[in-house]
Amino acid sequence: MVFVTGLTAEARLLRALPVETRVGAGDAAGATALVSFGLAGGLDPALRPGAILRPARVVWGDRVFAADAALVTALGGVTCDRMLATDTALVSAREKRAAHEQSGAAAVDMESGAVAAQAARRGVPFAVLRAVCDVAAEDLPPAALLALDSAGKIGILRVAHSVVRRPSQLPALLALAGHAASARRALAQEIARITARGALAPWL
């Protein structure tokens, strides 16, 4: 079983599970199951930071991938109907609102589509376990879009330079950091529950 994350900080949350973790949706040859794991952007206005997302399906372009029901149940059960997968970040509240209206998805991320497609190619089950970070009504500050490098690590210098150039974004950036902390805590609690139940044993 392989858990695929977008950030190295997300991968660290999985240390208690006897699973392989990979940052980025690269090749997962030999995996018995794939789980897209980490943070997501809220599209449903009712979702708050830290809300846990276990969608029944993932929408990526014109394709819809059904998550494996047994694997979703092992992770704790369905919490929303669908997750939207995109290749670029949805930056503004207006973009998020439009995406929600068009897709009906509760949230969005940039890894789950590729994970679902790879699982379909390999004929293995997949599921999504994510937590809301930025909510539907929030615009992402520019520094947040510059933060990550290709290895999924946060570049502090890039963030600092962006804040120096546009100090007005600092309150939004600090709020986003607080939301991310809430999301990571929620995910850590979910992993602790999954570990305690031994729910993933059939896929290990």
CATH number at residue 186: 3.40.50.1580
Residue 76 within a domain: yes
- The pLDDT, as a whole number, for residue 143 is 64
Residue range 33-62: mean pLDDT, rounded: 96
* Percentage of the chain modeled with pLDDT above 70: 87
Q: What percent of the chain has pLDDT over 90?
A: 59
Residue 148 domain flag: no
Structural domain tally of the chain? Answer: 1
Does residue 155 fall inside a structural domain? no
pLDDT at 69 over 50: yes
What six digits make up the tokens of 84? 């939207």
Inside any domain, residue 158? no
CA 112 to chain centre: 7
* Euclidean distance between CA atoms 128 and 78, whole angstroms: 10
Q: Which domain holds residue 56?
A: 2-138+180-203
pLDDT of residue 150: 46
Buried b or exposed e, range 150-171, using 16+ CB within 10 angstroms = eebeeeeeebeebbeeeeebee
- Residue 204 CA to residue 20 CA, distance in Å, equals 10
69 domain-assigned: yes
Residue given tokens 């973790």 in the structure block: 21
State the Cα–Cα distance between residues 31 and 58, nearest whole angstrom: 19
Q: Would you say residue 51 lies in a domain?
A: yes
Rounded to two decimals, the pTM is: 0.87
Of 173, 148, 190, 146, whose CA–CA distance to 50 is shortest? 190
Is 61 part of a structural domain of the chain?
A: yes
Mean pLDDT for the chain overall? 88
Cβ burial of 32 (10 Å; 0-12, 13-18, 19+) is middle
Residue 198 forms part of a structural domain: yes
pLDDT of residue 152: 47
pLDDT of 151 higher than 50: no
